[in-house]
Amino acid sequence: MESRDEMESVYINEIGIVIPGVNELEEMWYLLEGKEVIKGAKIPEIPPFIASRKIRRMDRFSILALYGTYSMLKDLNKIKSEQDPYEVGTVYNSDFGTLNTVLEFAQCFSDTVEASPVTFANTVMNACIGHICIELGLKGASTMMVGSNYIGYAMQLIRHGKVKSIVAGGLDEYNKELFDTFNERGICVSEGVSTMLLSREKRSDSFCEVIAYAEMNLKEHYCFEEKFKPESDDIKKAINTVLIKANLSADCIDAVITASNHKNFTEIEVDVIRDVLREKVDVLHPKYILGESLGASLGINLTVGALILKQQKIPHIDLNKKIKYVLVSNFNVSGNYTIFILKK
């Protein structure tokens, strides 16, 4: 049995998404409805959004993280004025972190060029959280994670009373050699940042409630092991576990967001989904359109699920029913298969 803390409701109250060609949720929805595949792996340009003197202290990784937060909070004063800064936490995730900055710093040694203090300071991955907390005045629990289920961790902080709200973000920046490696394995990748405000508070404009999650490590990833295929039993166990945690039967799930844009993985996952849930459950594959966004991908998949519940629409599917529950899965380079259930 789950404790009362573990059953505490957590709501998604704000969302920000920045990927190539997308700075607004409406733009992402337009891509999903049009099935126009993202072709550029890198966000072309980040428009000016804070003072240039502040930007000069950051690397691109921190700029992306902070810009993603700005895209989520259209009114920055809202979070400052409405919430105690000690009760708002920050949890961020990345699969590869400040890779470009680390390489730039290392190059200084081979070139015997003096390293910039700004470059050195930004090699630390959680520097991005420092910039965000300073800019927003946040003073709650703060954590930087790698290849993780950072949304699940953020939920636990809220459920156990560590904070009332959390700015939860995921991101990875473009690196040519890294992205080329993924593309050679048949995995289309894109730079991106996803940011959510998770909270105990249910608002009139909340996107949805996050009611349960489960996770399992599948031990491999197709980027490192080209012939990797997940075990059907592992995926089945994860889905059954999250249904038990949510106290739901399989036929309650109205739609499913799949975890990957890799053909072998998707085929096995969809077979399991139709076996465990039902043959005709509606299934959507957002990563085939939006790309694999690495550290941001869990947040982006959850955003798709949240928009489906908020708008009561599924791209390219004619509905004659209300959508109450969406199951969202994600698979990352750490081999973590994570699955959530969102409620209208």
What does the pLDDT look like over 220-237, one tens digit per residue? 988 888 788 999 999 999
Q: Where are the alpha helices (DSSP H) in the chain?
A: 4-7, 25-34, 52-55, 60-72, 76-82, 99-110, 117-122, 127-136, 150-159, 176-184, 232-246, 263-276, 287-290, 297-311
Residue 23 Ramachandran class (φ > 0 left, ψ -120 to 50 alpha, else beta): alpha
pTM here is: 0.93
- Residue 203: what pLDDT? 92
Strand order across the 255-257 sheet: 142-146, 88-94, 165-172, 192-199, 10-18, 208-217, 336-343, 325-331, 255-257, 282-284
Residue 30: Cβ within 10 Å count = 14
Integer angstrom CA distances of residue 315 from 155, 190, 255, 284, 307: 28, 21, 11, 8, 10
Which residues of the chain have a pLDDT value below 70? 1-7, 75-81, 110-115, 117, 120
Q: Give the pair of three-digit tokens for residue 85.
A: 């800064």
Alpha-carbon gap, residue 46 to 63, rounded angstroms: 8
Backbone angles phi, psi at 186, to 5 degrees: 80, 25
Alpha-carbon gap, residue 328 to 259, rounded angstroms: 8
Strand partners, 90: 142, 167
In the chain, count H helices and then E strands.
Answer: 14, 10
| Contacting residues for 307 by C-beta, under 8 A, at least 6 apart | 25, 28, 29, 207
Radius of gyration of the chain (CA): 20
Please tell me what DSSP assigns to residue 87: G
Q: Give the pair of three-digit tokens for residue 63.
A: 């700029």
Count of residues for the chain?
Answer: 344
Q: What share of the chain is helix, strand, coil (3-state, %, to 5)?
A: 40, 20, 35
Residue type at position 186: G
- Residue 140: what pLDDT? 94
Q: Give the pair of three-digit tokens for residue 88.
A: 């708002």
How far is residue 305 CA from its own chain's centroid? 12
* β-pairing verdict for 208-217 and 10-18: antiparallel
Domains of the chain, first to last: 4-199 (3.40.47.10), 211-343 (3.40.47.10)
CB 265 within 8 A of CB 259: yes
CB 35 within 8 A of CB 316: yes
